[in-house]
Structure formats: C-alpha cells, structure tokens
Chain A
Amino acid sequence: GIQVEQSPPDLILQEGANSTLRCNFSDSVNNLQWFHQNPWGQLINLFYIPSGTKQNGRLSATTVATERYSLLYISSSQTTDSGVYFCVTGDSGGYQKVTFGIGTKLQVIP
C-alpha cells in the first residue's frame, strides 16, 4: 500500500510565527487531504488538494503530484491552531481505502 511520511513529527511555535508541514507519499494518489485534529479528537477537513495550490485564510496548501509531496503552510499562527495535522491519501485505484500519515503535533504558545 501507499506509504505516507509527515514531517516534522512535533513542532512548537510562538504565536504569530509561520510554519510549513510536509507530506511525502510513495505512489500515485487519487486524492490528498489535510486534516486538523483538535484536542477533543474532532478531525476537520482543511483542504482537499490532489494537485495545485489552495488558500483558506491563514492556511494554504500545495500538492505536486508528479513529485509526490504536499505542503501545508500556516501563517501568523494562533493558539487555536494547536493540535495534530494529518495528511491523508487514497490510492489511484479508487474507493475509500485511505492511508493516514503519523501526523505533525503542533503546539502554539502565547
């Protein structure tokens, strides 16, 4: 199956700082999504981005499918950005057998 690697595994930021989270995947994928899991366990879909670049407020994401990686940018971080960020992919065979990365645990301190 597809292997998904995320880096860094842990990140501590001062409020207001910027950061880049990376996701590498081992094979062609038919979808690539970024999620934020809050301290209560809820997974929020940030981006559905199999290719290209998208922006949503302070967050943006870029996926370069031909080079098998995706980046999530967080600018002007806030304490509410704390939590775990997951990169999730599905193989190009379709259907929903997705693979999660191990996640990046982000802590934003005031």
Chain B
Amino acid sequence: KAGVTQTPRYLIKTRGQQVTLSCSPISGHRSVSWYQQTPGQGLQFLFEYFSETQRNKGNFPGRFSGRQFSNSRSEMNVSTLELGDSALYLCASNMDGGGEKLFFGSGTQLSVL
C-alpha cells in the first residue's frame, strides 16, 4: 500500500501570494488532517476532513483553508502569505479519524520570502 503522499516537497513563495498544498491519503483512509510545524510553535493542528466535511479546526486565521474531494484527497490553501507562514506542513490520514493510528506524509516545506 502506498503511504501518504504530499506534493510539492518544497515551495518558495513571496509575501502576499497564495499557495495550495496537496495530500493523497493511504487508500481506504477517509480522514485527512493537516499540521503546521515551526521551530517556535512546534507541531500544531490546522484542521481535519472526513467525507468532504471539515469536522475540526485548530486556532489559525481564516487565511488557512482546506477542502477534501470525493476520493479523500485533500488540499490546503494559504492566502496572503506572511513571513511567519514559513513552516513544514504535514498531513496525516487514518480510517475515520476517531482516535486511531495516524500515518503522516513527508511534508511540504514552505518558505515565504
């Protein structure tokens, strides 16, 4: 079984631009969650999707949004990028999100200049 796939692996953007990150979960997994990792704040939960619905959201501004498609693939969008958005963005999947084992992708390293 293929693991969780995130694209792209690296991304460089400038302030004010927007960016879209992609995550393909493990086949059969219907829950996809997103996380931001920075040296200062550690790993923080962004949001979780299940069957195309956002079920849970962390404490991030509205510039951070996401969606999930019928095949469970998910995208995350950040609009009006700020320098502080530079981070490793990780996604994870599991069967239905309810307290189950999480499987992570390799992440997208976003640099905002």
- Of the four ranges (under 10, 10 to 19, 20 to 34, 35 or more), the interface on chain B belongs to 20 to 34
**A97 pairs with B56, CB closer than 8 A:** yes
**B45 pairs with A40, CB closer than 8 A:** no
**B104 pairs with A42, CB closer than 8 A:** yes
**A88 pairs with B99, CB closer than 8 A:** no
- Of the four ranges (under 10, 10 to 19, 20 to 34, 35 or more), the interface on chain A belongs to 20 to 34
**A86 pairs with B98, CB closer than 8 A:** no
Chain B positions within 8 Å of A44 at CB level:
104
Q: A33-B101, A41-B88, A94-B99 are in contact. Are A103 and B48 (CB under 8 A)?
A: no
Q: A40-B106, A41-B107, A42-B107 are in contact. Are A30 and B99 (CB under 8 A)?
A: yes
How close is A45's CB to chain B, nearest CB, in angstroms? 6
**B99 pairs with A41, CB closer than 8 A:** no
**B99 pairs with A50, CB closer than 8 A:** yes
Q: A41-B107, A86-B43, A99-B45 are in contact. Are A33 and B58 (CB under 8 A)?
A: no
Residues of B within 8 A of A (CB): 31, 33, 35, 37, 42-45, 48, 55-56, 58, 88, 90, 92, 94, 97-104, 106-107, 109
